[in-house]
Amino acid sequence: MTADTILLVGHGSREKSGNDEIFAFAEQWRHRQPGWRIEVCFIEFSEITMSEGLRRAATGAERVLVVPLILNAAGHVKMDIPQAIDGARLKFPNVQFLYAPHLTACEHILSILKRRLKGAMQALDMPDPTLTGVVILGRGSSDRQANGEMAKMARWVMEETDHELVDLAFTGITYPRLEKAVQRQSLLGMTQVVVMPYYLFNGTLVERIDRQVENLKTQYPAIRFTSTAYFGFEREIFELLEERVNDLKRGAPESLMPCDGCKYRAFGVENGMGGHHHDDAVPHHHADDHAYGHGHDHGHAHDHPHPQVHAVVQIHSKPAVQQAPPHGHGHDHPHEHKHAHP
């Protein structure tokens, strides 16, 4: 019997190399922490589903520490993973399941961005930050908190460097897009642009970014472009995950992901607003990451961090008529739907 099993949860990608990188990441992590039992699963685009990963982790363990290898908290982190954990708690009532927060905007991520940016500047012909625009380019979400975390990182990069123009752009779901950000920087007199993908591993969207940058070089021949690599195997990612695990082990109050047992998520489940499940852990309600509108702040208290039964409570009232947010799945689907939900 193993006391603890760590379940590393990746998003998953249609691009096989992206999933392979997460397996390689987990193997490197095992070498860093030889005393830890580390399992891997994916939210989608993999045969190792959340349900299967939780089953493997729970087998022979007293406690499972679920650690999302995800940068921003949108529908997957707030809905899909907690629902899968709820299903595992019913299947394995003698195993304790703890859910750590996602990686989030923090000093660890800032350190990677600064190092990437410094390397990009050294590769440019004229490493003048006052004439070099920066575009931090992320996946994009209909969850304002997820986009807000990226906005915070863009501001931090500006605060910590001499760059006068650090913009935020998204590959889908929300705006602005990379092309619009570069157009703005061109109009403001930037002669060089550094595109910084805000991604952990390879995937179809990362490959699309490479193609976009090549197209921009043709569209703006007077501007020198360069792009940086995704974060993947940087030591700060390992260190941040290790902090998450150690916080869970010592029972730190901030160590639990607030959405594990969240009353707003419970309301969504009760009303058929569940997220992607792609396995048999819970009923499949293929919904977008904006379908639930999980944009509340997590300042509310949780009386039971691991409840088996959730109470349905009154949620925040909203105007009767609202403009629907852009429809999108929050992951690396190449398509973008133009319709809106009623």
* Residue 317: per-residue pLDDT: 35
From 175-179, 186-190, 268-272, the region with the lowest mean pLDDT:
268-272
For residue range 108-142, what is the model confidence (pLDDT) as tens digits?
A: 999 999 999 999 999 998 889 999 999 999 999 99
pLDDT at 42 over 50: yes
State the first-to-last Cα distance of the chain, in angstroms, to the nearest integer: 50
**Where is 136: in which H helix or E strand?**
strand 132-138
Pairwise CA distance, residues 191 & 225, whole Å? 9
Residue 184's closest CA among 173, 197, 193, 174? 193
Tokens of 289: 């990451």
Give 216 or 329, the one with higher predicted confidence. 216
Stretch 182-195: mean pLDDT:
98
pLDDT at 167 over 80: yes
Pairwise CA distance, residues 57 & 40, whole Å? 9
Binning pLDDT at 50, 70 and 90, where does residue 255 land?
low
Global confidence as pTM: 0.76
Binning pLDDT at 50, 70 and 90, where does residue 259 land?
low
Contact in structure between 121 and 132 (CB atoms under 8 Å) = yes
Contact in structure between 82 and 257 (CB atoms under 8 Å) = yes
SS3 36: coil
